[in-house]
């Protein structure tokens, strides 16, 4: 085990659990907490220490990481009763890997700064596969001083670490990332449906265009799963829709016109209304299948 620093991790879902496991494998001492205790028990069996509140995690750790579903969850865990802030002290570092509103990330940073502590907003991209392999892209907002202390830990869970700027900048980068992710998922769905309706083999179409200007992560990773009828997450559709709502709220706040992102938000909203909130974000193709009266698997 490494003597310093001692780490805490809160939020052991699809992304958080494999990230925490990678930290344990790297030899870090780790205190963990999660609403569902099954995930905690699994990590305790791998060498982690159990805690029963965010405050308890923070009281025992030098650096605490969170990966939580939405802005209200982060605000409660970071700033609420029995929250991380209650145990923050001089030099303590809080790192949030969740995707939340940039304005909330800035609020959290101010609250921790008032205690002599640091807060970094460090959302990630790369999905469950990236979390398992330790190849996530990490976008960081906050003080350079804190980032330098955390960078060796980031390098365990991520492949690229980019300091975007001041507090909130990491979340702005993640919002930009989610604009592109949604656009790729919808575009992939459209091209597959077009190929199907027009009588070409969708798999061969993907093969044909992967080597050209259309090449992207989405075409490299997702079509094979869709062709196999696998629409399980991955990254759940309701999380994609939540992230797009953050994008649109931020766009309204700053007066940025995002017409295509607005349409993609509606498509994911329709997907949720169709009862597919827990499917992969690539399963947005199902909305297009409904509109086109066809199925990729027919």
The 10s digit of each residue's pLDDT in 44-81 is: 999 999 999 999 999 999 999 999 999 999 999 999 99
Model confidence at 239, in pLDDT bands (50, 70, 90)?
very high
Burial tier of 190 (Cβ tally within 10 Å: 0-12, 13-18, 19+):
middle
CA atoms of 281 and 220, how far apart (whole Å): 15
CATH for the 173-292 domain, from 1.10.150.130, 1.10.730.10, 3.40.309.10, 1.10.1040.10: 1.10.1040.10
Q: Is the pLDDT of residue 132 over 50?
A: yes
* Each residue's pLDDT tens digit, 253-290: 999 999 999 999 999 999 999 999 999 999 999 999 99
Q: Is the pLDDT of residue 14 over 80?
A: yes
The domains of the chain are located at: 7-166, 173-292
The fold adopted by the segment(s) 7-166 is: Rossmann fold (3.40.50)
This prediction has a pTM of 0.92
3-state secondary structure of 55: helix
Q: Which residues are catalytic?
A: 174
pLDDT at residue number 3: 61
């Amino acid at each position: 085990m490494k003597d310093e620093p001692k780490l805490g991790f809160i939020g052991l879902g699809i992304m958080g659990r494999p990230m925490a496991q990678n930290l344990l494998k790297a030899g870090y001492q780790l205190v963990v907490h999660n609403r569902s205790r099954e995930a905690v028990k699994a990590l305790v069996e791998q060498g982690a220490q159990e805690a029963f509140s965010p405050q308890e995690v923070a009281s025992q750790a030098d650096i605490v990481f969170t990966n939580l579903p939405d802005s209200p969850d982060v605000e409660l865990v970071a700033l609420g009763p029995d929250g991380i802030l209650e145990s923050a002290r001089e030099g303590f570092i809080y790192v949030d890997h969740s995707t939340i509103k940039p304005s909330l990330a800035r609020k959290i940073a101010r609250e921790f700064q008032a205690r002599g502590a640091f807060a970094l907003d460090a959302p990630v991209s790369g999905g469950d596969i990236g979390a398992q392999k330790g190849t996530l892209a990490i976008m960081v907002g906050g003080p350079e001083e804190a980032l330098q202390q955390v960078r060796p830990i980031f390098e365990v869970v991520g492949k690229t670490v980019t300091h975007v700027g001041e507090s909130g900048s990491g979340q702005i980068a993640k919002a930009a990332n989610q604009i592109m992710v949604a656009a790729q998922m919808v575009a992939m769905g459209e091209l597959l449906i077009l190929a199907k309706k027009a009588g070409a083999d969708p798999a061969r179409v993907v093969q044909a265009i992967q080597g050209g200007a259309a090449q992207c992560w989405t075409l490299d990773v997702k079509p094979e799963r869709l062709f196999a009828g696998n629409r399980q997450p991955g990254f759940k559709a309701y999380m994609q829709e939540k992230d797009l709502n953050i994008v649109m709220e931020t766009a309204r706040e700053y007066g940025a016109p995002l017409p295509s992102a607005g349409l993609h938000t509606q498509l994911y909203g329709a997907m949720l209304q169709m009862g597919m909130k827990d499917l992969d974000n690539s399963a947005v193709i199902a909305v297009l299948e409904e509109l086109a009266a066809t199925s990729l698997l027919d």
